[in-house]
């Protein structure tokens, strides 16, 4: 039963931070505001009577605000929750020291991503001098591949947009009931709708109350918020003000979810790398202890969702997740992924960075729409709590957690896990600081941290060798996909934009031929052929620009008319922007990995 005023059918006002059609906007879109539901609940005196149990914020403790659990489950005596003994699975301080050959092999694998990228990039120099014909064949082949890829993305972006509009208004419970009516659900391995619950872990480190309030307000608009959502605010011990922020939020949102739990991740655990992965691992273990072992929720009927502190979910996301989880016989071997858009604050981000955020979202939508593609989870994703538990949750000594968690599950579970799309939008903030120019530096650092996923390539290589029981082609497909993604991340700018720019400027030899011989070995027909192969790529690019404009939130009132030209002029900066904020951060990360300078997790400032 929803609290007074929580009418999901009510038309909600559009805010500057809201989604645009086809998905519903958040009622508390602007940071600093509380949703209509919570204002009405507070006015009725509901929040004042919320059963919040504030527990001392010592490492490992859980502060909990819990609604009445299912009748079959005994209530949790929060006063009995003491700091748990650290799970032995997380203790990595006593590592076995590998021998010199093993360490040398590990270092060799660390060099592989940069070595492959460097080979492709420098081939434009040494290839033009010593192997001009093989270079021309390689470049023309890559041009043709890029043409196919561009049109493929454009077509599937349109399909994804249409599918997203269709599913945004679907009644998922009605769909479940219609498909399972009169069916022996147990024999068909279909779970009961009411048996499924969703654990949502929201890692936070020094994010403001306003930022977290916006996230929780949007989450509270979920159709199943009070019936199914078990929300965990995963705090860090190093954040001294986190308990006070949690106390404020638990008072406001205690009646919005089935449960609201706060966990505190201890600082400086030996062997851990500070960041989202280690925090999520700690929070998931505490949640499993509280909800499953002590309160009696069935771990086999539960999903866990990893997200960021600024993530905004579609109101029907968890209804859709309930449907997919309940009806999919492969529920314990599946990840679920929605298209991620950086639209929360799109109109407040500097125009050059807005371009990259827009392309990233539309490309992700297109990729999820393709049928024959190797998918990895990205940023915000869901999986069964059973699978996470069986593999020991997230690794605590890594920075990028999304692809790594998938690879861990994939190799530990016989190559069975895969990624299934949920075509409902997920919103995140773009990088924006209090300083215009500092925003560019913060964005660069975030891009470098994302590109640090190249460290998963050595991990995938080693797991490839250690798991011969997985069919060879299945292992190869995953390992090749992650390698190709990261190598092209740093190299494709040089192979497409860099070469095209130099051909247009008639300075081919000046760019790749530091020797006059290079210029004489590049025939004119190649320049003409490459130009006409790449020119049609403007059609899918224009299509994606139009889709981006259709999906963006409505321009806020404070957005001045004189800024309109920049909205379109930003696309002329695609070459330099993608170099400085895509190729360069990727090269930076790969060079750091190659020389052994590990990257530490740094929370990106998002004002």
The sign one gets for the Cα dihedral 278, 474, 483, 330 is negative
Q: Are residues 348 and 417 in the same domain?
A: yes
Among 438, 472, 499, the domain boundary falls at 438
Residue numbers in the chain where pLDDT is lower than 70: 1-98, 500-522, 605-607
Q: Are residues 413 and 478 in the same domain?
A: no
Write out the two tokens for 137: 């064949």
Structural domain contains residue 433: yes
Q: Are residues 153 and 200 in the same domain?
A: no
C-alpha distance from residue 396 to each of 147, 400, 416 (Å): 40, 10, 23
**Cα(284)–Cα(392) distance, rounded to whole angstroms?**
10
Q: Are residues 213 and 139 in the same domain?
A: no
HSE, CB side, 13 Å, CA atoms: give it for residue 598. 10
| Predicted confidence (pLDDT) per residue in 556-606, tens digit | 888 777 777 777 778 888 889 999 999 999 999 999 999 999 887 777 766
Structural domain contains residue 86: no
Structural domain contains residue 474: yes
Q: Which helix H or strand E contains 73, and what residues bound it? A: none
**Cα(325)–Cα(308) distance, rounded to whole angstroms?**
22
Structural domain contains residue 560: yes
The gap from C-alpha 514 to its chain's centroid, in whole angstroms, comes to: 42
pLDDT of residue 98: 55
Q: Are residues 202 and 270 in the same domain?
A: yes
Structural domain contains residue 60: yes
What is the reported pTM? Answer: 0.84
Structural domain contains residue 40: no
pLDDT of residue 578: 93
Q: Are residues 383 and 469 in the same domain?
A: no
Q: Are residues 458 and 418 in the same domain?
A: no
**Cα(382)–Cα(338) distance, rounded to whole angstroms?**
9
- CB atoms near residue 450 (< 10 Å): 20
Q: Residue 528 burial by CB count (10 A; 0-12/13-18/19+): exposed, middle or buried?
A: exposed
Q: Are residues 367 and 412 in the same domain?
A: yes
Which residue range forms the structural domain that includes residue 191?
51-68+187-438
Structural domain contains residue 73: no
pLDDT of residue 606: 67
Among 395, 416, 438, the domain boundary falls at 438
Nearest CA-CA partner of 349 in 337, 338, 361: 361
Among 406, 438, 470, the domain boundary falls at 438
Split into its structural domains, the chain has a count of: 2
The sign one gets for the Cα dihedral 361, 362, 363, 369 is positive
HSE, CB side, 13 Å, CA atoms: give it for residue 202. 27
Write out the two tokens for 535: 């020119």
Q: Are residues 249 and 384 in the same domain?
A: yes
C-alpha distance from residue 273 to each of 269, 384, 501 (Å): 9, 25, 41
Q: Residue 415 gets which letter from DSSP?
A: T
Q: Are residues 470 and 543 in the same domain?
A: yes
CATH of the domain at 243: 3.90.550.10
Identify the three-state secondary structure at position 343: coil
Structural domain contains residue 428: yes
Q: Are residues 504 and 358 in the same domain?
A: no
Q: Are residues 129 and 232 in the same domain?
A: no
């Amino acid at each position: 039963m929803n609290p007074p005023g929580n009418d999901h059918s009510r038309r909600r006002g559009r805010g500057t931070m809201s989604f645009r059609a086809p998905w519903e906007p958040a009622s508390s879109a602007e940071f600093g505001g509380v949703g209509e539901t919570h204002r009405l609940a507070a006015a009725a005196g509901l929040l004042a009577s919320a059963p919040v149990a504030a527990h001392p914020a010592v490492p490992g403790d859980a502060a909990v605000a819990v609604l009445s659990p299912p009748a079959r489950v005994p209530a949790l005596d929060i006063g009995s929750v003491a700091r748990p003994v650290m799970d032995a699975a997380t203790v990595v301080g006593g590592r076995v020291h590998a021998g010199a050959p093993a360490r040398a092999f590990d270092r060799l694998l660390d060099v592989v991503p940069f070595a492959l990228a460097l080979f492709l990039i420098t081939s434009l120099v040494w290839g033009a001098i010593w192997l001009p014909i093989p270079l021309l064949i390689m470049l023309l082949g890559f041009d043709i591949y890029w043409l196919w890829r561009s049109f493929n993305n454009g077509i599937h972006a349109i399909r994804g947009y249409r599918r997203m509009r269709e599913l945004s208004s679907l009644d998922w419970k009605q769909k479940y009931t219609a498909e399972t009516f009169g069916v022996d659900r147990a024999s068909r391995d279909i779970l009961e709708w009411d048996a499924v619950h969703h654990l949502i872990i929201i890692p936070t480190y020094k994010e403001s109350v306003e930022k977290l309030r916006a996230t929780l307000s949007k989450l509270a608009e979920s159709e199943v918020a009070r019936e199914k959502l078990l929300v965990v605010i995963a705090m860090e011990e190093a954040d001294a003000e986190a308990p006070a922020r949690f106390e404020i939020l638990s008072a406001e949102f205690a009646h919005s979810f089935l449960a609201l739990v706060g966990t505190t991740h201890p600082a400086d655990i030996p062997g851990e790398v500070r960041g989202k992965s280690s925090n999520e691992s700690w929070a998931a273990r505490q949640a499993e202890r509280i909800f499953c072992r002590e309160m009696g929720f069935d771990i086999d009927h539960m999903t866990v969702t990893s997200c960021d502190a600024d993530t905004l979910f579609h109101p029907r996301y968890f209804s859709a997740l309930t449907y997919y989880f309940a009806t999919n016989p492969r529920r314990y071997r599946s990840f679920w992924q929605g298209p991620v858009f950086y639209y929360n604050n799109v109109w407040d981000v500097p125009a050059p960075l807005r371009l990259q955020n827009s392309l990233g979202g539309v490309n992700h939508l297109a990729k999820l729409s393709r049928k024959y593609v190797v998918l990895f989870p990205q940023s915000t994703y869901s999986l069964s709590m059973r699978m996470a538990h069986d593999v020991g949750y997230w690794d605590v000594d890594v920075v990028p957690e999304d692809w790594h968690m998938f690879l861990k599950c994939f190799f530990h579970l016989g190559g069975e896990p895969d990624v299934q799309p949920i075509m409902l939008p997920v919103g995140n903030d773009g990088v924006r600081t209090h300083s215009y120019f500092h925003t560019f530096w913060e964005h660069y650092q975030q891009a470098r941290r994302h590109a640090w996923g190249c460290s998963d390539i050595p991990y995938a290589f080693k797991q490839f060798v250690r798991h011969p029981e997985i069919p060879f082609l299945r292992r190869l497909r995953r390992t090749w996909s992650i390698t190709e993604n990261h190598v092209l991340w740093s190299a494709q700018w040089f192979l497409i934009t860099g070469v095209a720019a130099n051909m247009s400027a008639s300075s081919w030899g000046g760019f790749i031929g530091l020797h006059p011989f290079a210029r004489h070995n590049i025939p004119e027909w190649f320049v003409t052929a490459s130009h006409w192969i790449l020119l049609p790529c403007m059609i899918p690019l224009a299509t994606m620009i139009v889709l981006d404009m259709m999906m963006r939130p409505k321009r806020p009132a404070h957005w001045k008319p004189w800024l309109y030209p920049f909205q379109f002029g930003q696309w002329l900066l695609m070459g330099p922007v993608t170099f400085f904020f895509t190729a360069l951060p990727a090269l930076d990360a790969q060079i750091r990995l190659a020389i052994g300078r590990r990257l530490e997790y740094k929370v990106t400032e998002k004002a």
